[in-house]
Amino acid sequence: MLAGTPDVGHWRWQGDAGGGPGDVVWDRRGQRGFLRLRGFVANEPSRARYQLWIFDGARDDRYPVDGGVFDVPAGRDEVVIPVRASLPVTRPTAFAVTVEGPQGAVVSTREKLVAFTATDG
């Protein structure tokens, strides 16, 4: 796994924004990572999808980098989602998961924020 290797950060979800516990590992050099979620409600992909957002200290916080849309299947208590950013991420500072429409969003309103990380560590 990526955790514990150089240039790999580890973030845990903060508080309860509607999702369950979990964490993110992100390889700054390889521009890839994994998102682990536990206890998230299964979604119906034709109605709504989860979307990961990566906040980059080198970018405006109003426009986090899209980390991809994904689904949580029914009957799964834990899911691990591979992550590849849509743009290079120089200094990841936080990650968020929102609920968006079936195609995801280009820019999220963050109206339906279900998970958020705050600090690397």
Q: Is residue 2 part of a domain?
A: no
Closest CA to 51 of 69, 28, 78, 25: 69
Q: What are the tokens at 84? A: 């590849």
Q: Is residue 121 part of a domain?
A: no
Q: Is residue 33 part of a domain?
A: yes
pTM: 0.87
Specify the CATH number for the domain of residue 76. 2.60.40
pLDDT of residue 33: 95
**Domain of residue 23, residue span:** 8-116
The burial of 79, by beta-carbon neighbours within 10 Å (0-12 exposed, 13-18 middle, 19 or more buried), is given as middle
Q: Is residue 72 part of a domain?
A: yes
Contact 40, 81 (CB under 8 A): no
14-28 per-position pLDDT tens digit: 655 556 678 999 998
Query: How many whole angstroms separate alpha carbon 4 and alpha carbon 69?
Result: 26
Q: Residue 110's pLDDT band (boundaries 50, 70, 90)?
A: confident
Q: Is residue 59 part of a domain?
A: yes
pLDDT of residue 6: 66
**What's the domain count of the chain?**
1
Contact 54, 33 (CB under 8 A): no
